[in-house]
Chains A and B, each alone.
Chain A
């Protein structure tokens, strides 16, 4: 059914417009996406759980309201289906964080973002794959098998949010939610040719986002266009009294900024090139696409300035202290008492509560999670607290100060999102440190709580997507949406259409 295949290629904004014009129903969109999911999943494995029945019921409920004219106050994306990273809690729908320790957990409550999506009449297609507890950069650390990159199914989609990124790249969903602690939305965005946004820390409620590292975690949009992300951010953003780290302020005008950006006039916009993120360390194809994109920004009137952020070179080290410290505490609750897995000790070992916990956690957590827990416990222990955790928190202060100074000279900062394009399965699994380097450019934004996003900048020499990252000052997410939308428009003009024109999608042909 070609028409259905054309439907799924629409942007979320286009879908929404067709819904408003009664050209298509929410149910038709949901069915089209479910068909693609069915066809694509054997190759992609983006979903851990498809909530087809719930999605259809939500779509029908929305269509009924829409027919009755009761949807006018809803957000622009009302009725558009969405996929949810399985790090976000959904009432009545299994939520696992891709960990054996939570397998089968049916939450009794909804995350704030889910409540907002439901209120907006946006059907939930299902829960997407990730590295276990969002810990990883390739989605290979999922306890339920890796997700494949639609651009080359022998390669990873990045991580941790490889499921959401692949689902959106492969047309299994128009948009998705991710969580970003060190780049888990943006780096998979870069590797799958999609848009991924990490809003300002505190801009989107974390209530119901399973905690990895609380001071770094942020829920954000995944989409195929800048505008779609902006529209989605406006649905999920805003102050929430159930999250003490939520900022009491209005949602920044990001959709308006994106629409402004599509006019491709960047006069007066100062774009900062961060010295620490130019030069060595990038695949040549990535550097080339990055430089071309910067040139395009200049062509649209942006002023390019060089920025020195000397402490960014310490960001990765500080991150790998702060993040595991918080992980070690946040993941303590998985102890076999209240929910999830329980494994009793083997024969010969005393059958005590403490041993039950130890054997449950041994069996329930994967290698990467254990590695980070152990590292975090070490960083927080009495003898090393000052040298490690304490020092890392100071580095964080220095990074924030560097960014504050940088944003006096520039409105946005730009870097390549990831040093490499999508790599082969297994390539970095035995070398944690190399895997950690994947996030070198995305981590600083989490450390400083500033908004950042990745958009596709073209294909590298290897034919794989390259990501271009924008960063903006805290609470001014709109400042990055404008140049990002402008760059997207300029690039698509060059390419004669969206980047996914070059993507082969055999599963669309197989879809019913």
Chain B
């Protein structure tokens, strides 16, 4: 069922989008929010459970201090008011992956309220996204659907539940309705998510990897006719788990809702889902009274008291924030504004920084991540981080080049090998026998052979006409299967003809 869409440029001419993001960030604490079960991505199913995370009768939640510390850190980074007293509340609903059939969250007394996040846009301007709250809550388990196609819920015959993730701490960051974004709404949402990701990583409170589900967002959006003040009916697209998905959800919803409203139709207040395969959002349940979560203060958990001393203590541990961090790096790396923005837009800052830390030059690191690696990423529709190459690999390739062990061509082939999953640069080099042939006998012989094969060129070179040098180098390269160092060949040729 394909829905009517308005052209994006027409939609944003006629309507103002008002959007909001509810972002779940999974915290990288050692243990779960309410019990001392270890939390680690990728553990065997149902091996990280205590009576509490399994919701056994009689079990009781006890708050993890580190989770609270992390919430305070994020609150400070988002310029939030950190409430002296906050309260955990139960959100009641039944679902097989919820061990207690209620989620412990925060309702009317969240730990962090009222803040903002400044995000840098591509044109160099700054947009301030207002934050409503950032509260603490616990995650549910995971369902694997069996018997249908592709593990999807539709058509599945039954599901298998792994409760390892149940109880993992989350912070949900809720923006206020973002107004005045106009046609840039998708770009602002994207920049907001990336900035938020950079912040949680800088704070060390989350791995911030969307593809692993460390971050996911619910995207709310409504349209209102230009010049009006009343907010329109919004749709809510749940659990979008990629930056691209968020941007495209907004673009799609703006076009869909505009087409509906333009025809005098109504937007349903409903929950939708982003479908990566079709690049569309699909309608889900219509919100109704059935969604009565019956929030009430969790009687198993008394009030959370955050003292000024506690906040002061956390303040002392606050690292440099991403914007300042970037400014400092740009200075160190001596990149232009444009070069820096390219890196940020390619989502390569952390990778470049890491690569430089591992020994590469700034220019070298930048060249690889924005060049060949970005090309491959785009080709496969993957993020740089999802590719099987690490900053250490790139630094290693750069080192081999600097040491003269690889030339540019071989370096590129090595990177291609690493990207193809053939192993580390060392392993790829060994596997293919990549090696720059420089001053050994083999190279000398190849030069002699090339000169002997074309006496005319040899004569020109001897007479000081260096123009045909390229032809000789080409011949040597062919003979050495590309492993010769062009500079070394050139030097050798000069030595020969002059000698």
Residues of A within 8 A of B (CB): 88-89, 95, 97, 102, 105, 107-109, 111, 206-211, 213-215, 241-245, 325-326, 328-329, 332-333, 335, 337-339, 353-354, 357, 377, 380-382, 385, 389
CA distance A207 to B36 in the complex (A): 15
Name the A residues within 8 Å of B63 (CB-CB): 244
Residues of chain A lying within 8 A (CB to CB) of residue B101: 332-333, 335
Task: Tell me if A207 and B296 are in contact (CB < 8 A).
Answer: no
On whether the beta carbons of B96 and A89 are closer than 8 Å, the reply is no
Given A244-B301, A326-B299, decide whether A211 and B57 contact each other with a Cβ distance below 8 A: yes
* Whole-angstrom CA separation of A16 from B63 in the bound complex: 39
Name 11 extra pairs, CB < 8 A, besides A102-B57, A207-B58: A107-B51, A107-B57, A211-B300, A241-B62, A244-B302, A245-B302, A333-B55, A338-B56, A380-B294, A382-B292, A385-B296
Q: A215-B299, A333-B100, A337-B96 given as contacts; is B58 within 8 A of A88 (CB)?
A: yes
Of the candidates A88, A108, A325, the one whose C-beta lies within 8 Å of that of B51 is: A108
B45 to chain A, nearest CB (A): 13
B109 to chain A, nearest CB (A): 14
Residue contact B60 to A381, C-beta cutoff 8 Å: no
Closest to A97 in B: B57
Question: How many Å lie between the Cα of A245 and that of B295 in the bound state?
Answer: 20
- Chain A residues with CB below 8 A from B96, complex form: 335, 337, 353
**Centre residue among B51, B58, B60, B294 by max chain A CB count within 10 A:** B58
User: Contacts A244-B60, A245-B302; is A338 near B54 (CB within 8 Å)?
Assistant: yes
Cβ contact within 8 Å between A381 and B57: no
Chain B: minimal CB distance from A289 (Å): 36
Query: Which B residues, 70 to 104, have Cβ-Cβ distances below 8 Å to chain A?
Result: 90, 92, 94, 96, 99-102
Does B159 sit within 8 A of A, measured CB to CB? Answer: yes
Cβ-defined contact, B94 with A335, below 8 A: yes
Contact B92 A329 (CB under 8 A): yes
Q: Which 9 A-B pairs have the closest CB atoms?
A: A332-B101, A215-B299, A214-B299, A380-B294, A89-B58, A208-B58, A210-B57, A333-B55, A333-B100
Q: Which residue of B lies closest to A325 (CB)?
A: B296
On whether the beta carbons of A332 and B60 are closer than 8 Å, the reply is: no
In the bound complex, what is the Cα–Cα distance between A213 and B163 (angstroms)? 25
Minimum CB–CB distance for A319 against chain B, Å: 14
With the chains together, A240 CA to B268 CA distance in Å?
50
A333 in complex: contacting residue of B57, B62, B295, CB < 8 Å = B57
CB of B296 within 8 A of CB of A329, answer yes
Cβ contact within 8 Å between B51 and A329: no
- The answer to whether A337 touches B161, judged by C-beta atoms less than 8 angstroms apart, is yes
Q: Which residue of A lies closest to B100 (CB)?
A: A333
Q: A326 contacts which chain B residues (CB < 8 A)?
A: 299
Complex Cα spacing A281 to B302, Å? 37
Q: CA–CA, A154 to B414, complex, Å?
A: 89
Within 8 A of A (CB), among B308-357: none
Q: 26 A-B pairs, CB-CB below 8 angstroms?
A: A89-B56, A107-B57, A107-B58, A109-B51, A109-B59, A206-B60, A207-B60, A208-B59, A211-B300, A215-B299, A243-B62, A244-B60, A244-B62, A329-B92, A329-B102, A332-B92, A333-B100, A335-B96, A335-B101, A338-B54, A339-B56, A353-B96, A354-B94, A377-B294, A380-B294, A381-B294
CB distance from B428 to the nearest CB of A (A): 48
A332 and B57 contact, CB distance less than 8 A: no
- The CA of A214 and the CA of B102, in the complex, are separated in Å by 14
Residues of the A chain whose Cβ atoms lie less than 8 Å from the Cβ of B57: 89, 95, 97, 102, 105, 107, 210-211, 333, 339
B61: interface (CB < 8 Å): yes
Residues 393-411 of B at the A interface (beta carbon under 8 Å): none
Considering the complex, give the chain B residue whose CB is closest to the CB of A335: B101
A380 near B296: Cβ-Cβ < 8 Å? yes
Indicate if the CB atoms of A380 and B92 lie closer than 8 Å. Answer: yes
B296 partner residues in chain A, CB cutoff 8 A: 325, 329, 380, 385, 389
| Nearest-CB residue, chain B, relative to A107 | B56
Residues on A with C-beta less than 8 A from B289 are: 382
| B296 and chain A: residue at smallest CB distance | A380
A131 to chain B, nearest CB (A): 16
Contact check, A111 vs B58: say whether CB atoms are below 8 A apart.
yes
Q: Would A353 and B55 be within 8 Å (CB), given that A329-B294, A338-B99 are in contact?
A: no
> Beta-carbon contacts of B151-168 to A below 8 Å, as 1s and 0s?
000000001010100000
In the complex, chain A residues whose CB is within 8 Å of the CB of B60:
206-207, 242-244
The CA of A306 and the CA of B485, in the complex, are separated in Å by 105
Are A333 and B99 also in contact (CB < 8 A) when A206-B60, A244-B60, A338-B55 are? Answer: yes
Residue in B closest to A376 when the chains form the complex, CB atoms: B294
Q: Which residues of chain B are near A329, meaning CB under 8 Å? A: 90, 92, 102, 294, 296
Q: A185 vs B47: C-alpha distance in the bound complex, in angstroms?
A: 38
| Residues of chain B with a CB closer than 8 A to A325's CB | 296
Q: Which residues of B contact A243 (CB under 8 A)?
A: 60, 62
Distance in Å: Cβ of B91 to nearest Cβ of chain A: 10
**A381 to chain B: which residues have CB within 8 Å?**
292, 294
The complex places the Cα of A108 from the Cα of B49 at a distance, in Å, of 12
- Distance in angstroms from B221 CB to nearest chain A CB is 25
A389 to B92, CA, bound (A): 15
